[in-house]
Copies of this chain bind each other. A is one copy, B any other.
Amino acid sequence: MAIQVDPEHIQMLYAAARNHDRTALAKLLSIVEGPQAGDVVSAIFPHTGQAHVVGFTGAPGSGKSTLVDASIGQLRKDDIEVAVLAVDPSSPFSGGAILGDRVRMQSHSLDEGVFIRSMASRGALGGLAVAAPNAVRVFDAVGKPVVLLETVGVGQVEIEVVQTADTVVVVVNPGWGDAIQAAKAGLLEIADVFALNKSDREGADQAAGDLEAMLDMTPRLEWRPPVVRTVASNGTGVDDLWQAIRGHKEFLAQDDRLVRRRRRHLEGEVRAIVAEQLGTVARQYCDGPEFQKLVNEIELHEIDPHRGAQRILELAGLSPNV
């Protein structure tokens, strides 16, 4: 839920959040979802770029939340502070149900070294593709060394968001065709590490074999994603998973790879912000009695939807061909 504050107040909030004030951090995260996102980003942007951002994605039910939960435990054993952003592009209707999942992670709620935050589409002005990188940036700027970015499902928006991480963990399960479904969802090409979770179940060897076979067929330049077997519910393999994640971090540190990867993300982010702002323009024009009159004409088949849209753009002086 977006809140409004004086721009000068943002610097104070930032200073407090950097000084481990959790309420100030929560407030910054709320502001960054709203119309003042730009003010927050201006204030904190020079202080960003230090955190290792690790994305977790996979089909609903694959055990992402449990794995993130176990990852928090793993990092805390080494006394590493960790922030979690769980992004959820669900509809308003189902939003409540998903945020309920997060309750499980509250086992860490008394640990000052852990900060967990959920972000839903409806709360995020301009969409998750714009808002999620900014929330990650807030965690980064207040000094969290590791930020876990978890998606609820594997839709296009979620894949777009999770790709902004430095290291992407794709969670798959044993079971017929799960690896193939992951490939179908476009997860194979974004994975830096595979977590074969629930690997105590039947079919784990088959699933691992499927993944390796698909990786064999993939033209890869420099990094082949390791396949790590985990049982998140009892912690098995979570240390191996983090060894693989750190391996990828070390790989990125060489030859300017991290710099180049982040630059690609920056380009994508600027495009997303531009597109979002133009969407605002579009919504302004696709509203009101003039718009309804136009839809009436389309309904009567007097004009078709494409010509109708063209007319709106011309009225707005926004025709792409001008």
Taking Cβ atoms with an 8 Å cutoff, the residues of A that contact B are 37-38, 41-42, 45-46, 48-49, 59-61, 89-91, 93-94, 97-98, 133, 152-159, 177, 180-181, 183-186, 188-189, 218, 259, 262-263, 266-267, 269-271, 273-275, 277-286, 291, 294-295, 298-299, 301, 304-310, 312-313, 318-320
Select which of B37, B91, B185, B286 is within 8 A of A274 by beta carbon.
B286
The answer to whether A60 touches B184 (Cβ under 8 A) is yes
* Copies of this chain present: 2
Top 3 closest A-B pairs, CB basis?
Answer: A155-B155, A91-B186, A273-B309
The answer to whether B93 touches A189 (Cβ under 8 A) is yes
Select which of B273, B279, B309, B318 is within 8 A of A305 by beta carbon.
B273
B residues less than 8 Å from A180 (CB atoms): 97
A157 vs chain B, min Cβ distance (A): 5
B residues less than 8 Å from A61 (CB atoms): 177, 181
Select which of B48, B97, B154, B295 is within 8 A of A266 by beta carbon.
B295
The answer to whether B270 touches A309 (Cβ under 8 A) is yes
B residues less than 8 Å from A285 (CB atoms): 274
B residues less than 8 Å from A271 (CB atoms): 282-283, 286
A to B CB contacts below 8 Å, 11 in the list: A45-B301, A61-B181, A93-B189, A97-B183, A153-B185, A267-B291, A270-B286, A274-B312, A277-B310, A277-B319, A278-B279
CA A260 to CA B216, docked complex, whole Å:
52
A27 vs chain B, min Cβ distance (A): 19
CA A271 to CA B286, docked complex, whole Å:
6
Select which of B48, B155, B273, B318 is within 8 A of A154 by beta carbon.
B155
The answer to whether B299 touches A266 (Cβ under 8 A) is yes
The answer to whether B38 touches A281 (Cβ under 8 A) is no
B residues less than 8 Å from A156 (CB atoms): 89, 155-157
A277 vs chain B, min Cβ distance (A): 5
B residues less than 8 Å from A308 (CB atoms): 270, 273
The answer to whether B188 touches A299 (Cβ under 8 A) is no
B residues less than 8 Å from A152 (CB atoms): 184
The answer to whether B304 touches A41 (Cβ under 8 A) is yes
The answer to whether B188 touches A94 (Cβ under 8 A) is yes
